[in-house]
Amino acid sequence: MSKRCQSCGIPLHKDPAGGGSEADGTRSTTYCSYCFSNGKFVHPDFNVEQMQQFCIDQLNKRGMPRFMGWIFTRELPRLERWKG
């Protein structure tokens, strides 16, 4: 199983940038570029439900039915960013 972004769940190998960026400019091996840039979250105030809705909306804009987007995002609460 491939490594996934610990914020949105995208497989990191599918991230066109190859991962988010740390504050020192290195590639993040934990978060994708859609979620993490320059050592900070792109959407720092999102809770897990907001992230799930955002992801569903983005997938829907790319032609995926909303119910499929929900299936793809239902595991978000188990990712590192959203744990306790």
Tokens representing residue 48 in the block: 């897990």
- Percentages (nearest 5) of helix, strand, coil residues in the chain: 35, 10, 55
Amino acid at 57: D
Q: Nearest to residue 15, comparing CAs of 48, 52, 2?
A: 2
The pTM assigned to this predicted structure is: 0.89
Q: How confident is the model at residue 1 (pLDDT cuts 50, 70, 90)?
A: very low
Residue with tokens 């609460």: 77
Q: pLDDT of 36-84, one tens digit each?
A: 999 999 999 999 999 999 999 999 999 999 999 999 999 999 999 999 7
